């Protein structure tokens, strides 16, 4: 028994036998040919191209009804690439000049093409080189298939684990037919074709195994742990037993979670809790509604600004925001730009790396107030979109009253401008502040007088309160969401909100951590916002909690002075 | 007739695979020869591989050279395609 490690994606655990599928990037045979064989080899190449094209056209016909236009578009493009005369000409001239076999000539040609893309810093362009190797790989497959005399996908049995270099978009349709158990690939990351396919088929996959699959052969027994990214090869009976039990448990939990999806998030003592979703892209809204989120508690707008050279203008932002608001009647909280620190605008608006400590530097609302050309188009777009739904605007990283003074002046200006231009907007969009700087948490009562809601951003609040940089390996063991200092700050912000009669929510990672759910409930939190994937888990925890019963223990937690007792208490609370 | 024009890639994904396919497909419908060039490379706009090798991302300035009887109509339709962001939602 041995293990391989990669990036785990998709769902749960799969146990089955390996089926190796040869794919581009794996070694292709290389051999010399005689000058008298050149024409014959070029004919082989031409035939290979024709059968690859036939195969792609067949898929293309096949999916006309079944699939999205996006997949169709990619397939059509791949077909055009295979049939492009340049591909044949250039590979044929390699055969002529170097006297090598067709497969290897394609390989050399592919490497030449990829070299062009390698130095391009645009991420969208860089993965074009993967598509070229996929297309060329398909022709290589056909050439090798001529030797083997059969198509590689034939004979796949239900539950088998597909082991391959990388999946191609065309395969995504093929594999769905076979009900395979899992995918293992050398290439790919959390948003690769393989990952998307695995999620849609609700099976696990491990991608980015690098050259790991070379240690596997067809027929090996494998255990795939999609959550941890581990492959167990030829496991012993004890390991198999453990994983069979885990797989059964995962199935049971999934059934339980599915069963409570449309049940209310209500505690045993009758408190109704709001569970909202955090989203990064507008199209994640659908997924969060499927998970039955009460609304969007945090839409991060940074993705609109990243990976591009030019800033999005007001019109583009208005489109995105109004489309989002139009698609749901539930409340949507949009956070204004939170750039700086670990999130930089591409295109180098200013050189942030000069700052010695970017987490404490010009970022979020500070950056926005510093540069109104960045901030105002977003605010205008938000106000204009406000008539399309239930919008709330959230300002990240507020730390002083002077910032609020400036903010309200800018908001007044924006509303005046829109009114003068006769553009429709809601004048009273709720404005909230994200409480993530300890200064704001300590003086939350002053902020509460001027804002319509507060939202606790725990990731930064914990980092600033404990003076721990989470990405610093040497100190991150001290990063503790349940540190009494953090819990006291959270409690005081929640209390402030109750006294002022304004809502307080939490949108950091802590809000989606089921180890913290009960403690937060006992501290008085009633609105959570989290990744939609964990909503059901948190809801299950909420539904199993009697707040009154754990309140005394959580009160102790705020003052306990022995670390052993502290750990015991947490265990007791979460029991 | 020989026409030249500068054209700018405005869509977010640049001349990605599907966009290159649409461009090559459109250009193949015309008699005219159509060349498209970045500052580094020239491409035959009727060849998808050739267009992809331009690796033109958002903001790239390209030069089109169209030569033939239907050059004006070709250039007009190419402009439309670029301006519509290759008919894709972004």
Q: Which residues contact A162 (CB under 8 A, 6 or more apart)?
A: A19, A21, A156, A175, A180, A182, A183, A184
Q: Inter-chain contact A124–B13, Cβ cutoff 8 Å?
A: yes
ipTM (interface predicted TM): 0.91
Q: What is the pLDDT of residues B40-68, one digit of tens each?
A: 889 999 999 999 888 888 888 999 999 99
Q: Which stretch of A204-208, A250-254, A356-360 has the lowest confidence by average pLDDT?
A: A356-360
Q: A428 an active-site residue?
A: no
Helix (H) or strand (E) holding A180: none
Per-residue DSSP letter, A188: -
Residue B21 with chain A: CB contacts under 8 Å: 73, 76-77, 80
**A136 Cβ under 8 Å from any chain B Cβ:** no
Would you say residue A287 has pLDDT above 90?
A: no
Q: Which residue has tokens 């391009």?
A: A120
Which tokens belong to A393? 């605007």
Instruction: For residue A288, give how far its alpha carbon lies from the nearest alpha carbon of chain B (Å).
Output: 21
**A111 Cβ under 8 Å from any chain B Cβ:** no
Q: Is B37 helix (H, G, I), strand (E, B) or coil?
A: strand
For A124, which of B21, B49, B57 is closest by C-beta distance? B57
Would you say residue A347 has pLDDT above 60?
A: no
Exactly one of A193, A291, A388, A516 is catalytic; name it: A193
Q: What is the pLDDT of residues A181-218, one digit of tens each?
A: 999 988 877 666 677 778 777 789 998 888 777 788 77
Q: A5 an active-site residue?
A: no
A330 CB neighbour count, 10 Å cutoff: 16
Would you say residue A150 has pLDDT above 60?
A: no
Query: Closest residue of A to B24, CA-based?
Result: A80
Residue B43 with chain A: CB contacts under 8 Å: none
Which tokens belong to A211? 């050259």
Q: Inter-chain contact B48–A77, Cβ cutoff 8 Å?
A: yes
A394 vs A371: CA distance, rounded Å: 18
How much is the mean pLDDT over chain A?
A: 86
Q: What is the pLDDT of residues A398-423, one digit of tens each?
A: 999 999 999 999 999 999 999 999 99
By the 10 Å C-beta count (0-12 exposed, 13-18 middle, 19+ buried), A118 is classed as exposed
Would you say residue A51 has pLDDT above 70?
A: yes
Residue A128 with chain B: CB contacts under 8 Å: 16-17, 52, 55
Band the pLDDT of A360: cuts 50, 70, 90.
confident
**A240 Cβ under 8 Å from any chain B Cβ:** no
Across the A:B interface, residue pairs with CB atoms under 8 Å apart total: 66
The pairing of beta strand A161-164 with beta strand A13-21: parallel
Q: Is A36 helix (H, G, I), strand (E, B) or coil?
A: helix
How many CA atoms are closer than 13 Å to the CA of A269, on its beta-carbon side? 10
Band the pLDDT of B28: cuts 50, 70, 90.
very high
Higher pLDDT, A381 or A187: A381
Residue A131 with chain B: CB contacts under 8 Å: 17
A401 CB neighbour count, 10 Å cutoff: 13
A461 vs A469: CA distance, rounded Å: 11
The pairing of beta strand A332-335 with beta strand A296-300: parallel
Band the pLDDT of A147: cuts 50, 70, 90.
very low
Catalytic residues of B: 16
Exactly one of A110, A291, A368, A507 is catalytic; name it: A507
A348: left (phi over 0), alpha (psi -120 to 50) or beta: left
Q: Is pTM beyond 0.80 here?
A: no
Instruction: For residue B84, give how far its alpha carbon lies from the nearest alpha carbon of chain A (Å).
Output: 14
A569 vs A573: CA distance, rounded Å: 6
Q: Inter-chain contact A120–B17, Cβ cutoff 8 Å?
A: no
Residue B42 with chain A: CB contacts under 8 Å: none
**A85 Cβ under 8 Å from any chain B Cβ:** yes
Would you say residue A223 has pLDDT above 90?
A: yes
């Amino acid at each position: 028994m041995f293990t391989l490690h990669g990036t785990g994606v998709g769902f749960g655990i799969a146990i089955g036998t390996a089926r190796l599928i040869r794919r581009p990037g794996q070694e292709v045979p290389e051999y010399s040919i005689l000058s008298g064989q050149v024409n014959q080899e070029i004919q082989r190449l031409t035939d290979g191209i024709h059968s690859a094209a036939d195969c792609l056209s067949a898929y293309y016909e096949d999916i006309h009804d079944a699939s999205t236009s996006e997949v169709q578009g990619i397939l059509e493009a791949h077909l055009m690439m295979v049939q492009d005369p340049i591909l044949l000409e250039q590979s044929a001239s390699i055969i002529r000049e170097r006297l090598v076999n067709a497969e290897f000539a394609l390989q050399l040609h592919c490497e030449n093409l990829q070299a062009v893309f390698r130095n391009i810093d645009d991420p969208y362009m860089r993965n074009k080189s993967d598509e070229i190797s996929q297309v060329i790989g398909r022709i290589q497959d056909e050439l090798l298939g001529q030797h083997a005399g059969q198509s590689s996908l034939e004979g796949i049995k239900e539950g088998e684990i597909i082991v391959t270099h990388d999946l191609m978009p065309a395969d995504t349709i093929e594999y769905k037919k076979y009900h395979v158990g899992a995918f293992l690939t050398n290439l790919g990351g959390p948003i690769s074709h393989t990952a998307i396919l695995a999620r849609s088929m609700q099976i696990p996959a491990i991608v980015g195994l690098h050259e790991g699959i070379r240690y596997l052969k067809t027929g090996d027994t494998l255990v795939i742990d999609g959550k941890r990214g581990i492959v167990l090869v030829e496991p012993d009976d004890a390991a198999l037993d453990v994983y069979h039990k885990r797989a059964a448990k995962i199935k049971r939990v999934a059934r339980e979670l599915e069963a409570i999806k449309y049940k209310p998030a209500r505690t045993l003592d009758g408190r109704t809790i709001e569970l909202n979703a955090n989203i990064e892209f507008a199209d994640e809204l659908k997924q969060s509604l499927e998970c039955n989120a009460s609304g969007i508690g945090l839409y991060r707008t940074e993705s609109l600004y990243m990976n591009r050279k030019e800033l999005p203008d007001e019109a583009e932002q208005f489109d995105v925001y109004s489309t989002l608001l139009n698609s749901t009647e539930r409340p949507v909280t949009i956070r204004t730009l939170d750039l700086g620190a670990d999130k930089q605008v591409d295109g180098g608006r200013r050189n942030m790396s000069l700052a010695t400590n970017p987490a404490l530097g010009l970022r979020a609302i500070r950056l926005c107030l510093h540069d109104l050309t960045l901030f105002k188009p977003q605010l205008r777009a938000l106000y204009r979109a406000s008539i399309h739904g239930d919008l709330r605007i959230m300002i990240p990283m507020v730390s002083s009253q002077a910032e609020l003074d400036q903010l309200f002046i800018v908001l007044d200006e924006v509303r005046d401008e829109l009114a003068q231009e006769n553009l429709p907007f809601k004048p009273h969009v709720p404005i909230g502040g994200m409480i993530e700087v300890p200064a704001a948490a300590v003086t939350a009562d002053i902020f509460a007088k001027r804002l319509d809601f507060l939202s606790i951003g725990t990731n930064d609040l914990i980092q600033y309160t404990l003076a721990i940089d989470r990405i610093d390996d040497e100190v991150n063991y001290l990063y503790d969401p349940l540190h009494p200092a953090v819990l006291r700050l959270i409690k005081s912000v929640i209390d402030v909100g109750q006294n002022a009669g304004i809502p307080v929510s939490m949108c950091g990672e802590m809000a989606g951590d089921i180890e913290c759910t009960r403690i937060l409930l006992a501290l008085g939190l009633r609105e959570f916002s989290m990744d939609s994937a964990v909503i059901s888990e948190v809801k299950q925890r909420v539904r199993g909690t009697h707040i009154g019963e754990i309140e005394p223990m959580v009160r102790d937690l705020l003052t306990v002075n022995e670390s052993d007792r502290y750990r015991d208490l947490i265990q007791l609370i979460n029991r | 007739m020989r026409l030249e024009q500068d054209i700018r890639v405005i869509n977010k994904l640049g001349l990605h695979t599907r966009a290159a396919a649409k461009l090559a497909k459109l250009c193949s419908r015309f008699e005219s020869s159509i060349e498209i060039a970045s500052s580094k490379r020239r491409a035959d706009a009727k060849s998808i591989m050739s267009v992809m090798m331009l690796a033109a991302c958002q903001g790239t300035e390209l030069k089109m050279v169209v030569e033939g009887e239907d050059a004006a109509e070709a250039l007009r339709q190419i402009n439309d395609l670029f301006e519509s962001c290759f008919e894709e939602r972004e």
